Amino acid sequence: MMGKVRVTERTSTAGASETKVPEFSYRNVTRRFRSGRDGEFVALESVDLDIDSGSFVCLIGPSGCGKTTLLNLSAGLLSPSDGTVHFRGARLSGVNTGVGFITQHDNLLPWRTLEKNVAIALEIGKVPREERRRRVAEVLELVGLRGFSQRYPSQLSGGMQKRASLARGLVYGPSTLLMDEPFGALDAQLRFTMQNELLQIWERDRKTIIFVTHDLDEAILLADKIVVFGTRPGRVVHVEDVPLNRPRDLAELRSSPAYGEIWERLWKLLDSSSHPEGAS
């Protein structure tokens, strides 16, 4: 259905990138949660990070290190306990309507057709019916679901349901996509297809994508930048630029020395950050 991913080199100069306002700026962001009677639990501590506009950034790290919390802060569904989150130069307060958020368990509503599931955000935004139809049709075409608009979720395969979630995140035309382990539950073949399709969409629209994953291969395949989180407390332990050429073919990539270097470095970091008691 969709061919090999072609991602052309971006034209950027050092001068331009220096003056560009980041899509997200996190400054000293800490988020605490109340835990039982005996005080507070630090889910995320002192995050300082910039996400460039148009970049593909993967967040990786052990379970419970605050990745979903960072997405929730970015979507404005949570506010920081300390520090600030800026979106396109403006301090976030309240829900961030500039992002599409594809959550980890982004279930479709079983009583709505595919078309109506995808249209939800447009209905809430009071977009007129005809325009809704047109935009839903466009985005279903984009994710390869043309012709399935009248099906119910139970009539769609697992992969089609994932595509539907993606369509639902895209339909509003957000400049940024937040994606929380979107392909984690898929089998290897389907995950690979979805990764390539996502890259193709990214190439077309150059959205900013913040993508949470457990899978190091997936992160290296997709990302311009990989942010490695550690746990107890959740925090950023390392940021890795991924200067590998695009298009990236996972099979080819795996045998390249540059890939192996990045993989080894991050694997060691992930291993030590999931056993913090072993660290000095």
Ligand X SMILES: Nc1ncnc2c1ncn2[C@@H]1O[C@H](COP(=O)(O)OP(=O)(O)O)[C@@H](O)[C@H]1O
Place of tokens 């300390």: 82
- How near is the Cβ of 2 to ligand X at its closest, in Å? 29
CA atoms within 13 A on the CB side of 182: 30
267 binds, among ligand X, Mg ion, none (CB under 5 to 8 A by kind): none
In whole angstroms, give the CA distance from residue 88 to residue 51.
Answer: 10
- How near is the Cβ of 71 to Mg ion at its closest, in Å? 8
Q: Which residues inside 59-98 make contact with Mg ion, applying CB under 5 A?
A: 68
Place of tokens 């056993």: 275
Preceding omega of 233 cis (within 30 degrees of 0): yes
Residues at the interface with ligand X (CB under 6 A): 33, 43, 63-69, 234
Nearer to ligand X, 153 or 276 (CB): 276
Nearer to ligand X, 208 or 213 (CB): 213
Nearer to ligand X, 60 or 166 (CB): 60
Report whether 150 contacts 183 (CB < 8 A): no
161 near Mg ion (CB under 5 A): no
Strands 176-180 and 99-102: parallel
Give the residue closest to Mg ion by C-beta.
68
- How near is the Cβ of 98 to ligand X at its closest, in Å? 21
100 binds, among Mg ion, ligand X, none (CB under 5 to 8 A by kind): none
Q: Calculate the alpha carbon distances from 273 to 17, 38, 201, 206, 227 in Å.
A: 31, 26, 33, 32, 13
Nearer to ligand X, 64 or 83 (CB): 64
- How near is the Cβ of 52 to Mg ion at its closest, in Å? 23
Q: At what angle do helices 129-142 and 158-170 cross, to 10 degrees?
A: 130
Nearer to Mg ion, 60 or 160 (CB): 60
Residues forming contacts to Mg ion in the complex (CB under 5 A) are: 68
